[in-house]
Chain A
Amino acid sequence: MTDRMSFQVGEDIRDTKAPDGPIEERWERRKFQARLVNPANKRKLHVIVVGTGLAGGSAAATLGELGYQVTSFCYQDSPRRAHSIAAQGGINAAKNYRGDGDSIHRLFYDTVKGGDFRSRESNVYRLAQVSVNIIDQAVAQGVPFAREYGGLLDTRSFGGAQVSRTFYARGQTGQQLLLGAYQALERQIAAGTVTMNARHEMLELIISDGRARGVVVRDLVTGEIESHLADAVVLATGGYGNVFFLSTNAKGCNTTAIWRAHRKGAMFANPCFTQIHPTCIPVSGDHQSKLTLMSESLRNDGRVWVPVQAGDTRAPGDIPEAERDYYLERIYPAFGNLVPRDIASRAAKNVCDEGRGVGPGGLGVYLDFADAIARLGRPAIEAKYGNLFDMYAQITGEDPYRRPMRIYPAVHYTMGGLWVDYDLQSTIPGLFVIGEANFSDHGANRLGASALMQGLADGYFVLPTTIGDYLADARDFGPVDDVAVAEAEIAVRDRIARLLAVDGTRTADSYHRELGKLMWDYCGMERTEESLRKALERIPELRAEFWRNVKVSGTAEELNQALERAGRVADFFDLAELMCLDALNRTESCGGHFRAESQDADGEAVRDDEKFAYVAAWEHTPDGPVLHREHLEYAYVTMTQRSYK
């Protein structure tokens, strides 16, 4: 075992700050216990919110409404462009408007089970409780959810649930919810409670006297390095799926904000828990810069198949029925094409590994609508999926009404993130983490339509309450240490200077692509001890080469997109290493984490609750990572193995 693959084990995490008592009453109790800050004092308290997606946008707006002084940051040119905008399918809520047996308890149960028993009961229960308020809030803001002819809200069912609880706004639910939060935020900007800094990137956290007290940011237009101070800092910077280079994330999505905080003492929980979405448009060539999601709803009518014979290069229409393998229907007769995301993804990988994949590079499977068109008629399919078919045609140049779509799994969401307690506070006092950036509610696998719910629950309802309790002590915080500020700024400047000084022969993007490929091959849909060890050998080598040979043109004092990218890639290297270490440690399979060594005779994932019913929270130390375990207990849901056969 080399150094890279070993780690220390630290003390277990025992206190998550969740109140005890009956689970239904815990959030009520926490709200009542939370101390209040009087309105006159709120005006003097300053909170920094980094990120303006569903989580950060709703949090900044709400804190502003409550009367705090808020400073908000995003790297895009407007807060409205956070990647929450791209969410398509919908948002879950336990409204039970259909009277189909839904309830807070059922949403809680589905989420814990869907997360493969690796999330905290208390947090998930609260999420289900708050879900109903989110829909009320959004409707009052004017979010144009789909409605029925009677004027009431429409819902649909989504993977992993037997009730219809997903609210949606055509295929643009994320956009509409984000615009609701954005408009609330703009209202507070106009009211003077929130100061917005678009085109600013957070590059360092400022800690003074053991508390998070500010951030160092780079003005992406002028290149100026600025320090902003506050009484508390909230990170809402989204997921880190771009460590794989290719993902359904936006180009700018990054790990820098949470990684810098991790380096400064915030523990990183379950970094290896990644969700791979089965229905994305496959890679078309080396130039590929991102992957586009095709909504999961397509699996309701499309049939997935590949040729029986490996290396069959005939056009799909020339392959007779007998020579097609509808492998999901064959292997999972009960669920067929509708098996959960992780299972569909892995099955696609397996048939492609057998050489039966289709399209460029053999990395694709067919999603065929011929039967559905024959059964329902083309107009019905157009009405249901028209916009998706158009998008597919635009990207691939192929007509999915005539030729089966080609799809392949892609990295989509990261369940891991900074560790937070019940109050959404990290292990650094005063540093709160919300939305996809934290690890809190989805365990080892997130259910469809639950990320939007969590982001808004955190931002509108949970954080604004819990941060007040922390800020009730702000009078005792004292001034921010000048030395801490200066050191943080110097660290940022040094890193930028180092990146510019290398002047090598490869671009940051080319390293990012190589790192992403490595992560996909070794720490992707299927992980083995061997693959993870290989990755842990290779990542440090590649990182060393990056720091010796990267080429970043331009200067630090201007709009410099090459520099922005290089900084993000540098942090992805470090994160990638921790992900592989976490994946190596967790020798069980659970949710999105599949260790080939831990499967049954049918190839199904096998969890090891005895050894791994815990959250792996990693601490950064100069001597390497230290693992802290937070043991998970299930008092309300019985732990069972999933089966979809």
Chain B
Amino acid sequence: MNLTLKIWRQHDAAKSGQMVTYHVEEVSPDMSFLEMLDVLNERLILDGDDPVAFDHDCREGICGMCGLVINGVAHGESRATTTCQLHMRQFSDGDVITVEPWRAAPFPVIKDLVVDRSAFDRIIQAGGFISVPAGSAPDAHAVPVKKEDADAAFDAATCIGCGACVAACPNGSASLFTAAKITHLGLLPQGQPERAVRAKAMVEQMDLEGFGGCTNTGECTAVCPKGIPLDTIARMNADFLGRRG
């Protein structure tokens, strides 16, 4: 199939950007979206043009490095999918596809489709851990954990930190990301001692980074490749206010 792409090009953080139109031909339906961009980039390089910069690494939906707004939707229209897992059979010959970076003030554009998500790392630094230096742990069976708690903690822990939740949120809130970690650690017995401090520190850091507040629009869960549920945010709020669930 032949496609028209309108891609956000921006040389670096200091310069302003604009949408640029490209045509790609003979796109195979078996290609992934990123492979289709590879084909475009190979051509641009040979023409001596600057290839389109985009982040990616594992290309199997788990590292959280990729992330594009495709036709206005973070990671495209397929549900529970990262950009790297999106395949071209979702598109048709003649389609016009817009491709933009995550847009949120705390995620400044570095180049083209590449943004700076280091704010997420700083939220984890603020308290997204259990303090246990290597070698100091008791036997793993010392504390049994209810299966349902372990499973629910796992579900929250599957967050890949891609940032789609922020990109989709009209307020640019990082609540789903932060809540996923607070929920993961807060559900486990090992996470109890630091539970209140953790929630407070992480939420404050989130605000400090300039992420917006949550108004329960649910756009975040809708685009989340791992389907992190919205009720994690209620849990985060409760922990933040010191109410024990």
Contact = CB atoms under 8 A, between A and B. Distances in A.
Interface of A: 58, 61-62, 65, 76-81, 83, 85-86, 95, 97, 133, 135-142, 144-153, 169-170, 172, 175-176, 179, 182-184, 186-187, 189-190, 196, 198, 221, 250-252, 284-285, 287-290, 292-293, 391, 394-397, 460-461, 464, 505-507, 509-510, 551-554, 558-559, 561-562
Given A251-B56, A509-B42, A78 B137 contact: no
Contacts of B28: 284-285, 287
A86 to B, nearest CB: 5
Residue with the greatest number of chain B CB neighbours at <10 A, chosen from A144, A394, A506: A144
Contacts of A86: 58, 60, 62-63
B64 A397 contact: no
A148 B125 CA distance: 32
B57 A251 contact: yes
B50 interface: yes
A287 B31 contact: yes
A65 B153 contact: no
Residue with the greatest number of chain A CB neighbours at <10 A, chosen from B12, B41, B129: B129
A122 to B, nearest CB: 21
Given A76-B65, A85-B63, A287-B38, A551 B137 contact: no
A183 B130 contact: yes
Given A136-B139, A187-B129, A507 B150 contact: no
B126 to A, nearest CB: 7
Given A81-B64, A151-B146, A505-B46, A135 B140 contact: yes
A76 B63 contact: yes
Interface residues of B, number: 80
Given A153-B141, A394-B87, A183 B132 contact: no
A562 B35 CA distance: 15
19 contacts: A77-B65, A85-B62, A95-B140, A97-B141, A136-B140, A140-B138, A140-B140, A140-B190, A146-B150, A183-B124, A290-B59, A394-B85, A397-B30, A461-B134, A461-B135, A506-B46, A551-B48, A553-B51, A562-B45
A186 B118 contact: no
Interface stretch (B109-117, B166-174, B233-241): B109-117
Interface stretch (B91-99, B154-162, B207-215): B154-162
B70 interface: no
Contacts of B61: 391
Contact of A142 (B56, B133, B153): B153
B185 interface: yes
Nearest to A396: B30
A237 B11 CA distance: 30
Given A142-B184, A152-B144, A252-B57, A287 B35 contact: yes
Nearest to A456: B134
A621 B125 CA distance: 44
A175 B55 CA distance: 19
Given A77-B117, A144-B184, A289-B59, A397 B29 contact: yes
Given A147-B145, A461-B134, A170 B154 contact: yes
B128 interface: yes
A558 B111 contact: yes
B135 A186 contact: no
A279 B219 CA distance: 36
Contacts of A506: 46
Nearest to A183: B129
B20 interface: no
A76 B57 contact: yes
B34 interface: yes
A289 B60 CA distance: 11
Contact of A561 (B39, B51, B118, B134): B51
A182 B110 CA distance: 24
Residue with the greatest number of chain B CB neighbours at <10 A, chosen from A85, A288, A391, A464: A85
